[in-house]
Amino acid sequence: MNPARDPMVVVDYDPAWPTLFATLRAPVAAALGDLAVAVEHVGSTAVPGLAAKPVVDMDVAIPSASALDAAIERLASLGYVHRGDQGIPGRAAFDWPPHVRRHHLYVCARDSAEYRRHLLFRDYLRAHPDSAAAYTALKRHLAARYRTQREAYTDAKGPFIGDVLAQAEDWARAIGWTAANGSSET
């Protein structure tokens, strides 16, 4: 089945998601070795209590964009297929290996805006349950409305995400948050 054509499903938070992330993370971290500055659980499955599509998102931070070719080669040895940035500069996307549970893997330079954005959004939602609850309600509504239209679902979340990121920037300044001190996994 083509995942892009699967119906949109948003499910309650599953407390097993962090364990699934750890299982998916282990071979990636081993293959990349010291090339990976961090391997982070990002996206909705990384926020306790937040409803999500049941697909783990993982960001690998590398020292700089110049290390991307080496990361692509090492990840290919596990069966990951590089798919370019898919229209999002600063983020290299990969298809998961066929023998592994579906997940999203992205490689970003540690100083990239996209990597910082992923961590900031995650950490802000973890610290602000009211915003996470509002995001859950929105995602459930949009999943019902755009059940077979993934791009429309993603686009419709954009304004909410933009508003939350603006609030998160204020929060980050107030508490001294940075991507380096906000990271939860290495």
When divided into structural domains, the chain yields a total of 1
CATH at residue 67: 3.30.460.10
Q: In this structure, how many other beta carbons lie within 10 angstroms of the beta carbon of residue 183?
A: 19
Stated pTM of the model: 0.93
Q: What pLDDT does 3 receive?
A: 56
CA 160 to chain CA centroid, Å, is: 17
Cross-strand partners of 52? 11
Domain of residue 13, residue span: 3-182
In terms of Cα–Cα distance, which of 117, 95, 106 is closest to 60? 106
Q: Please write the tens of the pLDDT for every residue from 85-100.
A: 999 999 999 999 999 9
In this structure, the chain runs to a length of 186
pLDDT tops 60 at residue 80: yes
Q: What pLDDT does 4 receive?
A: 58
Q: What pLDDT does 63 receive?
A: 97
Q: Please write the tens of the pLDDT for every residue from 110-157.
A: 999 999 999 999 999 999 999 999 999 999 999 999 999 999 999 999
